[in-house]
Amino acid sequence: MSDEKKVNEKTKQEQLEQYKVDDSNKKMTTNQGLKVSEDELSLTAGERGPTLMEDFHFREKMTHFDNERIPERVVHARGFAAHGYFEAYESMEQYTKAKFLSEPGKKTPTFTRFSTVVGQRGSTDIPRDVRGFATKFYTEEGNYDLVANNMPIFFIQDAMKFPDIVHAIKPEPHNEIPQATAAHDTFWDWAANNQESANQIMWLMSDRGIPKSFRTMEGFGINTFRFVNGEGKSHFVKFHWKPKLGVHSVVWDEAQKISGKNPDFNRQDLYDQIEMGNFPEWELGVQVIEEKDEFAFDFDILDATKFWPEEDVPVKIVGKLTLNRNVDNFFSETEQVAFHPGHVVPGIDFSNDPLLQGRLFSYTDTQLIRLMGPNFHEIPINRSVCPFHNNQREGYHRQTINKGPVAYHNNSLSNNHPKPATEAEGGYVHYEEKVEGRKIRRRSASFEDHFSQAKLFWNSMSPVERKHIIDAFSFEVGKVKSMNVRQQVVEMFANVDTELATAFATNIGSQPPSTTGSSVTKSSPAVSMANTVKTALTRKVGVIIKDGFNDTAVTDILHGLHANGIVYEIISGRQGMLKGTSGKELMVDHSFITTDSVLYDALYIVGGSDEDDEFQQNATYFVKEAFKHYKPIGATGAGAKLLDEYSMLGSPGVVSGNDQKFVNEFTEAIAAHRHWDRVIVTDK
């Protein structure tokens, strides 16, 4: 392999080598430890006779196989996870007595699972959907789970309605169609008749509904929690994960094509980047509101369909999450991990958010059926790093072997151990909130405004983001067969903005709305992805190249890109080695058949003197696709001629040259992510 092969990326063979285990001294056994002499042939009566029931090895092997599957999660079924650690930046003792937030530099091991909400385990990574972002902190005080999404609000205000929204958004029950999408009648019928969902749907129809990667997603705790400090003082709090790489998305045309080219796109990205040592990072931020200011805002802070604008309640950055190790076994870790917002530590407590209150029941309930009993906390990925002692016993999959005769509290035989801990000893004490009132089924009037924040979100969007939202509504609602439901949706979102509703009404063949949009003029620049971090770090560039390339110039440019933290893959008409003009060689990562333009953040077109018609056709397809998706494109040598042929040179984000200036300009173009001011060239 040539020196020009990127040094920060392992070859497939190198990746496989690290998993090799010396099994030379291990002999195959049954689950009972009995060594077996044959694992391919059943025990039969003669060579062509019937299989015998006494073949215990066959029965054990087949019975285990028949029972290997567990029920997938009702929601968030498709997920991917990694290990890491959380490092506190400063002490938060002013607000909370949680020890993992108690001192600067304190590190806590973590496990984070990303997921889509609607699709089944075998669905694509890139649907338009909300994403889960759940992190388990293995603290010295017990496990703490921050169960978040990539959007700060939810569809409903009360957990009582959770089964309804899930039933509506899942595939329709009569035919199990469509998979992993909200673009169908039952979801939009539910939305139009449950208008508290307006704010969440605006976020879902935005570019945040199709994130570029897990590494470029924000995370939000959604619900309102409490911080409680050592003096017993409480503050309301919301949690944020801020990606160090910024918040970025794909465009819808890309999302649909990626789903076909690589439905594992997001999980592949996370896995590969960790393997390469490009460890993803998010900073943890908190929004804090004093109890005395609970009613000081134009929204109810306990309403899960509302977010707290950062301009009103600033986000304080308190630490950093780093993911630095992939799982060893997907099923044992990613599939069996059990999160629960009720897994808290001293210093973190609950508010009266009605959605949160219902989640505190639902998560445990679903783990009991999915993981077959009450001992799911003993599965290694769920087990706390601190010891646990109580009088719980037995049940499915019990692993702890408790000694002694006592399994009850208030006893003399064991000197009344284990004893509850006092607050001073670290015992969890619930915040003493005064609660009174009649038992009723009624929501506060402060929860009744469903459209002001949806309009605030619309006001905050850039012109490009607004167009994408209109296009998303046009696609999603355009898939609805019922014209009545379509019209209901138009009328519903006219309450947000008349221009928005009129635009997608025209596109889906509905009547213009009869209602008038919200008069809210407030905006929150923090929610626009136009204002996010822009960096070229870890972006992936596809390098389209052929034999006879200028190896001296290309080598310098590839080294320059690598030095700027950019990952690249070599693409050509065939796999194997390519030879440059001076005899230097490059290893091809992908042929045109095994990859696609939509799988890269940018393209670098080199070409070569040995180009043929087939190479030209494939290179042209890749370039046009990337150009249409507003991606950065760089070109040198013969590649520049190709761009010039299609009038792309000089367009925003299209860079040509052969020197360090080219590297710098191309890096800047890559950092910008998309070049929305580009004029799309029609085919010749």
Assess contact for 228 and 551: CB atoms under 8 A. Answer: no
Q: Which residues of 37-61 are buried (b: 16+ CB within 10 A; e: fewer)?
A: eeeeeeeeeeeeeeeeeeeebbeeb
Q: How many residues does the chain have?
A: 684
Distance CA 416, CA 649 (A): 80
Three-class DSSP category at 494: helix
Kindly give the pairing relationship between strand 602-607 and strand 540-545: parallel
Neighbours of 119 (CB within 10 A): 22
- Helix, coil or strand: residue 352: coil
Provide the CA 92 distance to its chain's centre, in angstroms. Answer: 27
Q: Is the peptide bond before 109 cis (omega within 30 degrees of 0)?
A: no
Q: Write phi, then psi, for 536 (nearest 5 degrees).
A: -90, -5
DSSP SS3 for 144: strand
- How far is residue 23's CA from residue 454's CA, in Å, rounded to a whole number? 59
Question: Do the Cβ atoms of 216 and 248 come closer than 8 Å?
Answer: yes
Q: At 332, is the secondary structure helix, strand, or coil?
A: helix
- Residue at token pair 């950093």: 320
Structure tokens at 299: 């929204």
Q: Which residues are catalytic?
A: 76, 149
The string of DSSP codes covering 323-378 is EEEE-S-IIIIIIT----TT---TTEEE---HHHHHHHHHHHHHHHHHTTSTTGGG
Three-state DSSP state, 303: coil
